[in-house]
Amino acid sequence: MPLVDLDDVRQVQPEVWAIAIAHCTRRIVWQNIVRALGVKAIFITLEALGLTSLWGAVFADDRCGSADDSQC
């Protein structure tokens, strides 16, 4: 008698697929957060040095876009 029935394996696969998608999505969300905060930090530093205005941070963050999800 097999340890795992074939029907059990078919039921587990969608859950494994969903977990993989969740991990990929979580990584992309964190990449987007880090990029947005990085852009803000750069422009706040430049603004403190008098090299740009804070409006630059607003526009740069808007153009930053999302992370490349081709690795998923």
pLDDT tens for each residue of the chain, 72 residues long: 455 555 555 666 777 778 888 899 999 999 999 988 888 888 888 888 988 877 776 777 665 555 554 444
| 49 belongs to a structural domain | yes
- At 24, the amino acid letter reads C
Question: In 3D, which of 25, 61, 29 has the Cα closest to residue 42?
Answer: 61
In a domain, 29, yes or no: yes
Q: Three-class SS of residue 51?
A: coil
Q: Is the pTM of this model over 0.75?
A: no
Domain of 37, in residue numbers: 18-63
Domain membership of residue 40 (yes or no) is yes
Count of structural domains, the chain: 1
Please, which residues have CB within 8 angstroms of residue 45's CB and are 6 or more apart in sequence?
Answer: none
Residue 7 is which amino acid?
A: D
Q: How many CB atoms within 10 Å of residue 28? A: 16
In a domain, 2, yes or no: no
38 domain residue, yes or no = yes
Q: Evaluate whether residue 28 is within a structural domain.
A: yes
Beta carbons of 39 and 60 less than 8 angstroms apart: yes
